[in-house]
Amino acid sequence: MNRELFQQLKRWRDEQARIEGVEAYRILNNATLDALVGASPRTKEELCGVKGIKDAKYRKYGRAILALIAEFSGREDPDRLPMEEGQGVSNDESKLTDPLSVSQFLDSLNLELSGMAARLRGEVSSVDIRERVVYFTLKDSQDESLLSCLIFRYQYEVSGIALAIGDEVIVEGVPDIYKPSGRLSLKVGVIEYAGEGELKKAYDALYRKLELAGTFAPEQKRPIPEFAERLALITSREGAAIGDFTMNLARTGFHVDFYPTLVEGKKAVFEIIEAIRYFNRVPERYDALVIIRGGGSLESLQAFNTEALVHEISVSRIPVLAGIGHERDVSLAALASDAMVSTPTAAARYLSVSWDEARASLGKHVLALARAMQEFRTLVRERIQRGEESLRRALSDILERVGMAQAAFREAVALFPEYCRRVASRLESDAALWQARTAAAATNARDRLSDIEARLRQYDPVRALQLGYSLVRKEGKVIRGIAGVSVGDRINIQLGRGGIESEVIGITE
């Protein structure tokens, strides 16, 4: 129940913000809404005790908040409770003697006027576009009555209207008295063209502008993932579109996050833009952003033919699928989307077809797999049988060879003693022969060594020295002739015993 009250208060807060042309948090922030739900105040004192509600807020919104809470909880209508100061005049005549300041009176009037929101139709008789506000005048075609109006520049641009004198428009807003001048104006939150002719003209002009800018170009489109699983859904909570979509969506494979918005009239533009921005804060969470609504007249689909919404769709970081039904014309929002279909049902089928085909294909693959498994089992069984046969043949051959080897081994074992005797006999007979040959070889070797020894002694240089010869060296080198020797050179003479250091005093040729 508390959650439902919170949503009621939030919707009232957002609507009030649109009417006043300010951010919603400037009316009441979410923390204050939570505190209101928790406290569920009945009186001014209880309401002003909630954090975020001061006297100024109470004077402006107090009765509306208490009325919402009372209506939700079934309490007494706050309109039947005594008026608070600044919220009207009491029946107590003594109060009439207390004069109000002009500012207090105007505040009281504006508070009362804030509850007189109206939807009007008229002809534009003047336009003054300024930096932050657009001022214009509406004229009644019947009696020439005039009404001053203003709309904040942001709301004007989002509405997608280019006001011109003579245009017939429909506006929604609340009356408000501007205190510095005391002038009464209609503070407009929503403005739209009246009549199919004006709407068609505006549609065609905007279409040409966007087409020229390349907004609808095929190369700007991004593919919707074939197996999209995580969907961001934007549509009305009450309309048939959401039912048509969910009923035709495949039963498996999807996670849908739903953001409820209006889908008709210019008020819807603000909510749909906010919903797109909400989902685009975390684009990685979603595969596709789906915007749907049923068919309708060009007038009822104005929200989807505004430049602000088309721009928001074209810059979305999540691929956009539009299922916006229309009897005659395709909405500009659908043309700017990455993919478009004619109805919410078609949108669900567009997203489901890959899953349905995959499911059907999976059934075929299951059958094919069963057949393949059966064929595989048959093939394996045949191969096992062939393997067993080959194994039996190989085993038989091995056993045969083992038997032959055993017979040969037994025969060899039986003949081994005789073989050993023959070998021993041969070794004995060969031993004497090898002994004789060894002795002859030893004698021959001794004779050759004696001969070599004699030759070495004959050519031993020491023997020559002992016979009276000598070796003459100069600087360690043997002198073999007079070449390289000069008078005065010192030479060494080696004798059989000892040596002599000499000096050359003469050389004979």
CATH number at residue 57: 1.10.150.80
Residue 254 and residue 125 share a domain: no
User: What is the spatial distance between Cα 408 and Cα 167, in angstroms, rounded to a whole number?
Assistant: 123
Residue 217 and residue 345 share a domain: yes
Burial of 358 (0-12, 13-18, 19+ CB in 10 A): middle
In this prediction, residue 432 carries a pLDDT of: 77
Residue 82 and residue 129 share a domain: no
Q: Is the pLDDT of residue 154 over 80?
A: yes
Residue 107 and residue 159 share a domain: no
Tokens 């069963």: give the residue: 370
Q: Is the pLDDT of residue 39 over 90?
A: no
Q: Is the pLDDT of residue 251 over 80?
A: no
Q: Residue 253 — left, alpha, or beta (φ > 0 → left; ψ -120 to 50 → alpha)?
A: left
Residue 278 and residue 183 share a domain: no
Q: Which amino acid is located at 417 in the chain?
A: P
> 265 vs 209, 241, 326, CA distance in Å?
22, 16, 14
Distance of CA 124 to the CA centre of its chain: 49
Residue 221 and residue 174 share a domain: no
Instruction: Give a yes or no: residue 24 inside a domain.
Output: yes
Instruction: Give a yes or no: residue 389 inside a domain.
Output: no
CB 234 within 8 A of CB 241: no
What residue numbers bound the domain in which 40 lies?
A: 2-111
Instruction: Give a yes or no: residue 151 inside a domain.
Output: yes
Residue 326: pLDDT band with limits 50, 70, 90: low
Nearest to 320 by CA among 292, 349, 301: 292
Tokens 């139709």: give the residue: 121
Q: Which two tokens stand for residue 500?
A: 């002599």
Distance of CA 233 to the CA centre of its chain: 19
In this prediction, residue 90 carries a pLDDT of: 40
Q: Is the pLDDT of residue 428 over 90?
A: no
The residue from 308, 336, 353 where one domain ends is 353
Of residues 57 and 415, more confidently modeled: 415
Residue 125 and residue 23 share a domain: no
Residue 10: pLDDT band with limits 50, 70, 90: confident
Residue 169 and residue 44 share a domain: no
User: What is the spatial distance between Cα 129 and Cα 126, in angstroms, rounded to a whole number?
Assistant: 10
Instruction: Give a yes or no: residue 401 inside a domain.
Output: no
What are the pLDDT digits (tens) for 180-238?
Answer: 888 999 999 888 888 777 778 788 888 888 989 999 999 989 999 988 889 999 999 88
> 224 vs 102, 233, 311, 352, CA distance in Å?
61, 14, 19, 12
Q: Which amino acid is located at 409 in the chain?
A: F
Residue 79: pLDDT band with limits 50, 70, 90: very low
> 126 vs 120, 129, 154, 167, CA distance in Å?
16, 10, 19, 10
Instruction: Give a yes or no: residue 407 inside a domain.
Output: no
In this prediction, residue 21 carries a pLDDT of: 65
Q: Which residues, 6+ apart, have CB-to-CB distance to 130 below 8 Å?
A: 153
Instruction: Give a yes or no: residue 313 inside a domain.
Output: yes
Residue 290 and residue 274 share a domain: yes
In this prediction, residue 97 carries a pLDDT of: 52
Beta bridge partners of 256: 231
> Whole-number mean pLDDT of the chain?
84
Q: Which residues, 6+ apart, have CB-to-CB distance to 375 below 8 Å?
A: none
In this prediction, residue 51 carries a pLDDT of: 84
The residue from 90, 111, 132 where one domain ends is 111
- Read off the pLDDT of each residue in 398-404 and give the average, rounded to a whole number: 91
Output the 3-class SS for 127-172. EEECCCEEEEEEECCCCCCEEEEEEEHHHHHHHCCCCCCCCEEEEE
> 300 vs 123, 202, 237, 272, 329, CA distance in Å?
20, 14, 17, 15, 12
Angle 132-137-139 from CA coordinates, rounded to 5°: 160
Instruction: Give a yes or no: residue 447 inside a domain.
Output: no
Q: Is the pLDDT of residue 74 over 70?
A: no
Residue 339 host element (H or E): strand 339-341
Counted domains in the chain = 4
| pLDDT-wise least confident of 80-94, 156-170, 369-383, 441-455 | 80-94
Residue 472 host element (H or E): strand 471-474
CATH at 185: 2.40.50.140
SS3 471: strand
Pick from 296-310, 339-353, 358-372 the range whose average pLDDT is largest: 339-353
Q: What is the DSSP string of 474-508?
A: ETTEE--SSTT--TT-EEEEE-SSSEEEEE-----
CB 136 within 8 A of CB 126: yes
pTM exceeds cut of 0.75: no
| pLDDT-wise least confident of 89-103, 181-195, 256-270, 371-385 | 89-103
Q: Is the pLDDT of residue 1 over 60?
A: no
Residue 143 and residue 107 share a domain: no
Residue 289 host element (H or E): strand 288-293
User: What is the spatial distance between Cα 283 and Cα 276, in angstroms, rounded to a whole number?
Assistant: 10
Residue 132 and residue 102 share a domain: no
Residue 31 and residue 152 share a domain: no
The residue from 111, 138, 167 where one domain ends is 111
Tokens 């009897």: give the residue: 327
- Read off the pLDDT of each residue in 32-44 and give the average, rounded to a whole number: 87
In this prediction, residue 94 carries a pLDDT of: 39
Instruction: Give a yes or no: residue 372 inside a domain.
Output: no
Residue 259: pLDDT band with limits 50, 70, 90: very high
| pLDDT-wise least confident of 2-6, 143-147, 246-250, 373-377 | 2-6
In this prediction, residue 230 carries a pLDDT of: 93
- Read off the pLDDT of each residue in 113-131 and give the average, rounded to a whole number: 87
In this prediction, residue 222 carries a pLDDT of: 92
Phi, psi of 145 (to 5 degrees): -65, 145
Residue 273: pLDDT band with limits 50, 70, 90: very high
